[in-house]
Structure formats: C-alpha cells, structure tokens
Amino acid sequence: MVFRKSPDGGWGWVVVLVSFFTQFLCYGSPLAVGVLYLEWLDVFREGKGKTAWVGSLANGIGLLASPVCSICVSSFGARPVAIFSGFMVAGGLMMSSFAPNIYFLYVSYGIVVGLGCGLLYTATVTITCQYFDKRRGLALGLISTGSSVGLFIYAALQRELIELYGLDGCLLIVGALSLNILACGSLMRPLESSSSPPPEKTCADKVPDQYFVYHEKGKTIEENISILEKGYIDEKCGNNVPDCKQDNILNKNVLSSINVNEKDTYKKKVVEQTNFCKQLAKRKWQLYLTYWKETVVLFKNKVFSALFVAILLFDIGGFPPSLLMEDVARSANINEDDYYMPLISIIGIMTTVGKLVLGILADFKWVNTLYLYVITLLMTGVALFAIPFAKSYLTLAMLSGILGFLTGNWSIFPYVTTKTVGIEKLTHAYGILMFFAGLGNSLGPPIVGWFYDWTQEYDTAFYFSGFCVLLGGFLLLLAALPCWNACTNQGSKLPPNTYSYKVASSA
C-alpha cells in the first residue's frame, strides 16, 4: 500500500499525544518494577538473583523480540497491534496478582507484559514516523519521554497502592489503568492511501503457485504437463465453483484436440517456465545470502563491533540500579522516614532530563556524538563504583540522579549508530544492536542479584557492574580514535554510500 505524504502536523500531533500516553501506561510498571521487587522478595522468599529475572525479562524481552514486533506491525498495522498489545499488558499485570510462585511471574509479568511493551513501542514509533518527516526527531523525542515520566510516577503510585491495597490489589489496579491503552490505540488512525494506482506486479509476482513445482529435477516433461493441467483445473474450480464441472469437461476437450505441434510448443513453454522458476528460487536464496553477508560486513567495522560490545556491557551493568536501588537503600539500613521521594522516581525524572539535554547537545556541530556517548559510559561506570560508598539517602539520591541523567544517552544512540555504519545500513545495524541491548537488560539484574546471594552484600555486585560499563566505554574509545581521525582526514573523499555526521543528524 502507498501512503500519502507525511503531513508533519494535524492528526499527527494527536498520534504523538496518544503514543506518549501509551508508552507511559505500558512502561510505567516494568521500569518501576523495583518497588514490586521488594514485595516479591518478601512474599516468595526466593533469592535476589532468581527474583530479579522477573523485572529483567519484562524490560529485555521486548528488545529481544524486536524483529518479530516489526513483522507484526508491518503485517497488521500499528492500530490493531496497539489494541491487541494493550490487552496483553493489562492481562499480564492482572494475572500477576494471582501468581502462586515466582515461576508464574516469569510468564505473566516477564514474558506477557514484556512482549506487549515491545509491540507497543514498535507500533508507536512506526505510526509516528509515518505522520512526521521534517519534525520526526521532535515527535520521537516527545513520545520517548512517556516511559521516563511513567517511571517517575509509577514508582510512587505503586508504593502507595501497595500500602493501601496490598501487592495483589496494586497489580490489579495498575492492570486496569493499562486498559486505557486500548483507547489510545484506537486513535492511531493510519494514513490514508494515496490516490495513485498501485504499482504493477512484477513478472515473479504474476507466476501462479502451481509453477513453483517445476524446480524438481526428477520430473519429466510429461509429468510437468499433467501437473500444469491439474493446477489450471484447481485454479478455475477455486474461482467459480458452479462452473467447475463445465470447465473440467471443456478443458479435457481442448486438451484432447491439441495436435502434435501444439503439444511440442506447450512442452517448450513448460521447460522455459521451469527455468524461470529455478532462477526465481536462486534469486531468493541470493537475497538471504546477501543479508548475512551484509551482517558480516557490519562486524568487520571495528567501531560497530566495539559498539555492540559496549551496548551489551552497558545494559548488563547500567540497568540494575533502576531495578535494585530501592533494595540497596534497604540493605544500607536507611530509615524509610528519611525518604522524600522514591529513588526510582529520581532516576525516572532525571532520565527525561538526560534525554532532552543530551539530544540537544548532539545537534551542535562542534559536538562529536560518539565521544559524547563514550563520556556517558565512563561517567556511568564511575557512578556505579561509588554506590557501595553511599550510606545515606542523600548520597543515594544524588547517585540515582546522576545515573538517571546518564541513562538518557539512549536518545543519542541512533546518532552514534548512523555515524558508525551510515544511514543506509541504519535499520539493519540498529536491529542487531537492540537485540544485544535486550540481552544485556535480561542478564544484568539477575547477575547482580546472584552476586548478592553469593556475598550477602551489594558492593561486589556494583564493582562488577562498574567494571563492565567502563570496559565497554574504553573499548569503544580505543576503536573509535583511529577511525574518527581517518574520517576527518578524508573529508570530501567519503564514498557515496557513507554519510557524514552532519547529514546523518539532520536525516
């Protein structure tokens, strides 16, 4: 289907608004799962590593399944997927209130809610990109803050609901709130199709299904003719059932009247069609080979390889604080009366600020976005090393704010990817990187929890997290330095398929 030109406004702003609230409603509870994590520890009496799997699955499964989510949105459209995913998120949260054990939560909260969030994220981004072209960066920036605002509000909301109605009541109410996603999804009206006629089918698309049996080498020409006759009869019967018998009789009469010369011509056409189908199958196989060759070429780029390692290590080490910071405060014996605001709420609001500030910095010509991203990684590693020395609410709140601000580097990650591989390969490369980001999200909290179960303190766990993030930052810096100098020296000698940062950032 061909859509008309992006309006860059109008109903598009309604789409931005409902996409913001969609991400707010679906990601609020999973990102603020640290509040629920404390309750699950007390209820199920499982280890911290095993319990942390619930929150890590909810936040990582959507990224891991991003290729599937993209296929669903491409096949069915953003609005149907958003409505269906709203039922998934709401149903998963409500089912979690009846969880008899931690393993039930793995499915209900971790997989069902996580997959629903992944589908909703893809749907909101896709429909927003359809409605905006020149203002696409602004629109995507606005909807991306929905998850951060959700983290800020849901952290306090879930704590208050637990005090009033208990853990089960909290999950039921939060699940009921998520049903508002259905209303938001219904407003994601797709763009009307253009009045231009649809493109003509290619020769390959015009080939009937029955022709695809001809690539088998073992069949003789006579067998191919009989198959073709059968395919022709089946096709006619499927299109017009009442006339099926009459068509069969007519077809037999026609075939019986074909003379020898006509049969020879018919055989020749079958052989030609067989060769055509063989070439078509070969072309499809060549497309698959090309995809994997392009993937191999991406990993030959040392900056991209370092970026893939950096994003994996960053999510292993940098994601656990948003899940475990409340338990860190409880393990440090901080009095709950000293709490002015949940630490997770501080992380959420500062993540919003970080996304906006870092995104604005990335637009300045004198700012090298790759180096900016590396700086955020190195500062995150240092902040993680400082967590074991924080023994008061004030110091933990300051570190939570710093970590939240630095986590806002997600807003500049597409810029970094574009600079590394070029805008033509952005979709391919970004999908690979998001898969490993989801893997890091899924592994990080359980690893930190296992360190606590092993040592009975968080110090070693956060030293490990800080080391992972610092290692990723240094590897990316070492890989980028010579590459960046080469790109700078070449200047206008860039190949035609490669874009400078100035062009990529404005795309």
Task: Find the CATH number of the domain harbouring 473.
Answer: 1.20.1250.20
Same domain, yes or no: 283 and 141: no
Query: Are 454 and 351 within 8 A, CB to CB?
Result: no
Query: Are 21 and 173 within 8 A, CB to CB?
Result: no
Same domain, yes or no: 185 and 279: no
How many CA atoms are closer than 13 Å to the CA of 325, on its beta-carbon side?
34
Between the alpha carbon of residue 80 and those of residues 88, 153, 177, 187, the distances in Å are: 13, 28, 19, 11
Whether 317 maps to a domain, the answer reads yes
Last residue of a domain, one of 193, 214, 244: 193
CA 497 – CA 438 distance, rounded (Å) = 29
Same domain, yes or no: 183 and 307: no
Whether 206 maps to a domain, the answer reads no
What is the per-residue pLDDT for 426?
Answer: 66
Per-residue pLDDT of 218-248, as tens digits, reads 444 445 445 444 544 454 454 454 555 455 5
The pTM (predicted TM-score) of the whole model is 0.66
Per-residue pLDDT of 243-260, as tens digits, reads 554 555 545 554 555 555
CA 65 – CA 84 distance, rounded (Å) = 16
Query: Are 373 and 427 within 8 A, CB to CB?
Result: no
Same domain, yes or no: 140 and 288: no
Angle at 354 between CA 349 and CA 355, to 5 degrees: 100
Same domain, yes or no: 10 and 134: yes
Same domain, yes or no: 188 and 313: no
Element counts in the chain: helices (H) and strands (E): 21, 0
Same domain, yes or no: 10 and 99: yes
What is the per-residue pLDDT for 26?
Answer: 92
Query: Are 494 and 419 within 8 A, CB to CB?
Result: no
Query: Are 410 and 376 within 8 A, CB to CB?
Result: no
CA–centroid distance for 169 within its chain: 30
What is the per-residue pLDDT for 98?
Answer: 93
Same domain, yes or no: 443 and 298: yes
Whether 137 maps to a domain, the answer reads yes
pLDDT under 70: residue ranges of the chain: 1-6, 137, 192-264, 266-273, 275-276, 278-288, 290-292, 336-339, 423-424, 426-427, 482-507
What is the per-residue pLDDT for 218?
Answer: 43
> Helix, strand or coil for residue 27?
helix
Whether 237 maps to a domain, the answer reads no
Whether 148 maps to a domain, the answer reads yes
One-letter-per-residue 3-state SS of 165-232: HHHHHHHHHHHHHHCHHHHHHHCCCCCCECCCCCCCCCCCCCCCHHHHHCCCCCCCHHHHHHHHHHHH
The number of domains in the chain is 2
- Phi/psi for 227 (5° steps) reads -65, -40
Same domain, yes or no: 185 and 309: no
Range of the domain at 392: 274-485
Residue with structure tokens 């710093």?
402
